[in-house]
Amino acid sequence: MRPAFALALLLTACVDAGPRGPVEITEVDFTTIAGFHARDATVLGVPMGASREQAERIIEAHPDFVVHPDGANPGRFYVDFAQPASREEESAFYFIWEPGHKGMNRVTVLRPAAALLRGEAKALLTTAALDDAAAPAHKFLDELGERHVSLDIPAIRLRHTSHWFPRRGIEVTEQVDEAYGTRQVVFALIVRDEREH
């Protein structure tokens, strides 16, 4: 085997191996990183797998954000902008510690967080991520693992459908409110199994 060919083969294998360290989703366009998975992500410096105390400490050190506990779910909190443009744009992220997981295993990226994302990562908060096969965000997500209705309230014509992309550890949720004629998209970074982290 020629040395140049062997070197090219080795470099290709390294590129496909994924990131070499944590990927801060608010600092880089993570959709351009080969092999990216949610387990590689940090959000405002908080790594997946962090304890609640660690996450609160990191967020509280950011002057632009505040921790807002979810009163109905003690294993969760919102990360709000300290100075939101409006009440509707208050929360950027939703940090979740699901039962049975040692650390944070899910972060929902809410629509106001688009202002913090870079490049095509912003498109994961748009319908193009699900609808447009030619869109870079759609291509990044790769193969759909499963799709299920995660919320259905016929009385008010509200339905959420979640699309799981296991290769990326990302779930994209389409939120359709027929009563108001709206269709929105959010996404979550998820480490489903402790062995994935």
One digit per residue, pLDDT tens: the chain, 197 residues?
A: 555 444 444 444 444 455 678 999 999 999 999 999 999 999 999 999 999 999 999 999 999 999 999 999 988 999 999 987 777 779 999 999 999 888 999 999 999 999 999 999 999 999 999 987 888 888 999 889 999 999 999 999 999 999 999 999 999 999 999 999 999 999 999 998 744 44
Total number of domains in the chain: 1
9 within a domain of the structure (yes/no)? no
DSSP, collapsed to helix, strand or coil, labels residue 181 as coil
Chain centroid to CA 110: 9
Q: What span, in angstroms and rounded, lies between the C-alpha atoms of 106 and 116?
A: 18
The amino acid that residue 152 corresponds to is D
- Tokens in use for 155? 């009385």
Q: CA-to-CA distance for 102 and 100, rounded, in angstroms?
A: 7
Total Cβ atoms within 10 A of residue 156: 10
Euclidean distance between CA atoms 142 and 139, whole angstroms = 5
Q: 12 lies in a domain?
A: no
Contact 36, 48 (CB under 8 A): no
Establish if 191 belongs to a structural domain. yes
The answer to whether 163 and 147 have CB atoms below 8 angstroms apart is yes
Please report whether residue 3 resides in a domain: no
84 found inside a domain: yes
Residue 4, domain member (yes or no): no
Q: Decide if 185 is inside a domain.
A: yes
Distance of CA 95 to the CA centre of its chain: 10
Residue 11 within any structural domain of the chain:
no
Q: Distance between CA 68 and CA 87 in Å, rounded? A: 13
The upper half-sphere exposure of residue 34, i.e. CA atoms within 13 Å in the direction of its Cβ, equals: 7
Element (H, E) at 99: none
Domain of residue 56: give its range: 20-196
Q: How far apart are CA 175 and CA 179, in angstroms?
A: 12
